[in-house]
Amino acid sequence: MAAGEPGASGGYCFRFLPQRTFASLSAPETTGRLRQWSMLGRIKAQAFGFDQTFRAYRKEEFVLAFFKDPNVIANLELLSDSSGQWMTLGTEVKNVEATGVPCTQLSMSFFNRLYDENIVRDTGHIIKCLDSFCDPFPISDELRKVLLDEDSEKYEVFSKPDRDEFLFCLFKHLCLGGSLCQYEDVLGPYLETAKLLYKDLVRILLACATLQQGVTNRRFRILLWILSSVMLTFCTIALVWGRCLDVLLFYLYLLCFIIFVF
pLDDT at 19 over 50: yes
Domain range summary for the chain, segments of one domain joined by +: 14-104+182-261, 106-164
Question: Which pairs count as long-range contacts for 205-214, CB under 8 Å and 24+ apart, including other chains?
Answer: 205/103, 205/235, 205/237, 205/238, 205/241, 206/237, 206/238, 206/241, 208/238, 209/237, 209/238, 209/239, 209/241, 209/242, 209/245, 210/241, 210/245, 212/238, 212/242, 212/245, 213/245, 213/249
- Predicted pLDDT at 51: 84
User: DSSP letter string over 115-179?
Assistant: HHTTSB-TTSBBPEEEEEEETTEEEEEHHHHHHH-TTSTTGGGS-HHHHHSHHHHHHHHHHH--T
Mean pLDDT taken over the chain: 79
pLDDT at 214 over 70: no
Residue 157: what pLDDT? 96
Residue 10 binned pLDDT confidence (cut-offs 50, 70, 90) = low
Q: What's the Rg (C-alpha) of the chain?
A: 21
pLDDT value, residue 82: 82
pLDDT at residue 243, rounded to an integer: 43
Reported as a single tens digit per residue, the pLDDT across 45-81 is 999 998 888 888 888 899 999 999 999 999 999 988 8
Decide if pLDDT at 216 tops 60.
Answer: no
Residue 165 has a pLDDT of 95
Q: What is the pLDDT of residue 100?
A: 84
The share of the chain scoring above pLDDT 90, in percent, equals 57
Res. 220 pLDDT band, cuts 50 70 90: very low
The residue that leads in pLDDT, 166 or 262, is 166
What pLDDT, on a 0 to 100 scale, did the predictor assign at position 55? 84
What is the tens place of the pLDDT at every residue in 83-127? Answer: 889 999 998 888 888 888 899 998 999 999 999 999 999 999 999
